[in-house]
Amino acid sequence: MASRLRDKTRDELAEHLNRIGINAVLSSRGLPHESVGNKWWRRSQGIIELSGGPIGWINIIKKDRSKDSPPKWWIFLGISDTRAIPQSKSVNIKTKRKKSFPIFGKVTSVTWEGQDRDLGLAHELSMDNEMKELATELGNIRVQTLHDEFSGWVIEIDRKIAPTKEQWTTLEKIAGVCLRTSVALCKQPPPPVSID
């Protein structure tokens, strides 16, 4: 009975990813990455571990149904990076979807905006047609750096997803852009020039 009542979102996403050729394995519960995105009456459904690409793990977060609202899910795609990005150089950008009619209209355009440390990340993602199409099809997307006990980036999608192989390739493309941006964020300033 408990198994039937348990939320199957994590299981279903892992099965779907394996069907499209992504090596996805359900992890044991209690991993530190379950805390990513887990706030404000939300709870983690657990981690899916991935191999063979820049996206290494997925945390699925759920907010339960309330009297006034249906249940809601968020998907966090983790991109590990050996470079520790300082908190002072944190990046947080998200899509802004313009609709033909407010709330229920069709999405007509997508731009990225937010804090990208003047590295042109938001502009680069805004100019890429595949990434625009991805946000149109999958939902709102946010890209952030991770700090403290984690090192790297996370791509957040504000609903359940079942990406196509092509959409997954575009998500990996975003991950690649993030890792390239890490190089610029972690560059050390040149040493001071001594004057004799």
Give 36-86 as a DSSP string. Answer: TT--SS-EEEEEEEEESSS--EEEEEEE---SSS--EEEEEEEEE-SS---
Q: Would 190 be classed as within a structural domain? A: no
144: tokens are 């952030």
Tell me, yes or no, whether 75 lies in a domain.
yes
Mean pLDDT of 144-149: 89
- 194 within a domain of the structure (yes/no): no
In a domain, 155, yes or no: yes
What pLDDT score was predicted for residue 86?
A: 86
What percent of the chain has a predicted confidence (pLDDT) above 90? 63
Asked if the model's pLDDT at residue 102 lies above 70, the reply is no
How many structural domains are present in the chain? 1
Q: How many whole angstroms separate alpha carbon 20 and alpha carbon 39?
A: 31
Per-residue pLDDT of 13-40, as tens digits, reads 999 999 999 999 999 999 999 999 988 7
Answer yes or no: is 31 within a domain: yes
Range of the domain at 136: 2-185
pLDDT at 101: 66
pTM, rounded to two decimals:
0.89
With a cut of 50, say whether residue 172 has pLDDT above it: yes
Domain assignment of residue 192, yes or no: no
Q: Is residue 167 part of a domain?
A: yes
180 located within any domain: yes
